[in-house]
Amino acid sequence: MKIFIKKLPLLALILFSILFAAACSKENTNAGVPGPYDGEKILVHGLQEQDFEITLGDLKKLPAITKHAEAERSNGEVVKVDATGPLLDTFLKQYGKTQKDFSRVRFTAKDKYSIAVPADVLAGRQIILSYLNKGQPLEEEMQPVRVVIPGERAMYWVMNMIRMDFETGGDQEPPNKVVFLETAVKSLPRHDYEDLDSVDLAVKISDLIDKYAEPDDSGVSNVFLKASDGLQKNETRANFLSAFIKITGPEAPKFLAPQFPQGMHIRGLLYAIYGRTAIFSYNEAIASLPKLTEEGQEGIAFSQIFKQTGLTGGSKYRFTSADGRSIQLTMNDLGGGGLIFQNEQGALAFTCTGSSGRINVPDLLSVEVLP
């Protein structure tokens, strides 16, 4: 009896080990097990000369891993998974490639959700093309694949994934022009837009770009967007041009489109870079960036525009007002500073004091860096 009691912990340990091993191997046997969605296709673009399709069944034949991962949703809840599937790198190895060979990988879902995983995430993270969660097949609305990137926010975890675009090049050149959203929208058609139980005003991004970006935009394939809370995203040119910017109401300026799932909307948009033109929101900047006060006027420093957008400095700048009038200023004219502010009538303006004394630009529309 005494002996039996003494040995009980050992027995328990052995029993536990057997059960634990069984639990693990159960998960491993489920990896690769055939299922009703194995014929579902995923389109692959940018990996070979021609686009091609693979099936979930093909992915199930690759070595799989299982990883626990947690991520915060936009509403603050935490999503927890034990994701099983091959790594994107395991898939790419068959074609002699790795994640690091690409500037971005865009995943697109059946529900039209899409997101580009940027180079820094590709370089530092494991990307799981998961088809099991906690050892069980995915729910129908997530089939055939849920992308899981442990350590990254849930916006990258594309469920229902049916297309992968492997993109090279098209890296963002620094902008050489800034267009101020608040001035630009004054001359554009406004549309009623229903969002979050309120009807607000929005402009079509295609109207904005037609009127204010460089006429030759044939080279633009990717658009970079940044929100004041730090969110950064890349959008395809087509998605960007098909969308709206909501300019009044909750969360404005907000990038959105009726055909996008909610998760693709961007609230508190600070700027978007299209080609070499940055569309910049003064309202979002004044609400989120350090303020500067000059002679009793509160605004933001001209230098903030450079700091935020990566606009490269030059020796001369062209400041343009809404009526088309413009003025060229040198570094000396600027006196190394300058303030962008909103006057009592709500119009944007620029002011600086340099070697030519005080200079004012009313109704500020844009600033260009001149060669």
Rounded to a whole number of angstroms, the minimum distance from the CB of residue 154 to ligand MTE is 4
> What is the C-alpha separation between 354 and 330, in angstroms, rounded?
9
Among positions 263, 310, 337, 354, the unique one binding Mo ion when judged by CB under 5 A: 263
Q: Which does 123 bind (CB under 5 to 8 A by kind): Mo ion, ligand MTE, none?
A: none
- By CB under 5 A, name the one of 74, 168, 187, 343 that touches Mo ion: 74
Interacting partner of 335 out of ligand MTE, Mo ion, none (Cβ under 5 to 8 A depending on kind): none
Question: Binding partner of residue 160 among ligand MTE, Mo ion, none, CB under 5 to 8 Å per kind?
Answer: ligand MTE
Is residue 356 involved in binding Mo ion (CB under 5 A)? no
Residues in touch with ligand MTE (CB under 6 A):
73-74, 79, 109, 111, 113, 154-155, 157-160, 261, 263
Residue 171's nearest CA partner among 226, 210, 135, 119 is 119
Q: Which of ligand MTE, Mo ion, none does 350 bind, CB closer than 5 to 8 A by kind? A: none
- Between CA 59 and CA 10 the distance in angstroms is 41
280 contact, one of Mo ion, ligand MTE, none, CB 5-8 Å limit per kind: none
Q: Which is nearer to ligand MTE, 72 or 173 (CB)?
A: 72
Say if residues 338 and 359 touch (Cβ distance below 8 Å): no
**Residue 347 amino acid letter:** A
- Looking at residues 154 to 173 of the shown chain, list those that interact with Mo ion (rule: CB under 5 A): 155
Residue nearest to Mo ion (CB): 74
Closer to Mo ion by Cβ: residue 47 or 243: 243
Measured from the CB atom, the residue of 44 and 278 that comes closer to ligand MTE is 44
Intra-chain end-to-end CA distance of the chain, in Å? 93
With the C-alpha atoms ordered 206, 212, 215, 218, is the resulting torsion angle positive or negative?
Answer: negative
Nearer to Mo ion, 170 or 263 (CB): 263
Closest by CA position to 72, among listed 231, 269, 217, 295: 231
Piece in contact with Mo ion (CB under 5 A), picked from 153-161, 182-190, 274-282, 305-313:
153-161
Positions touching Mo ion (CB under 5 A) are 74, 155, 263
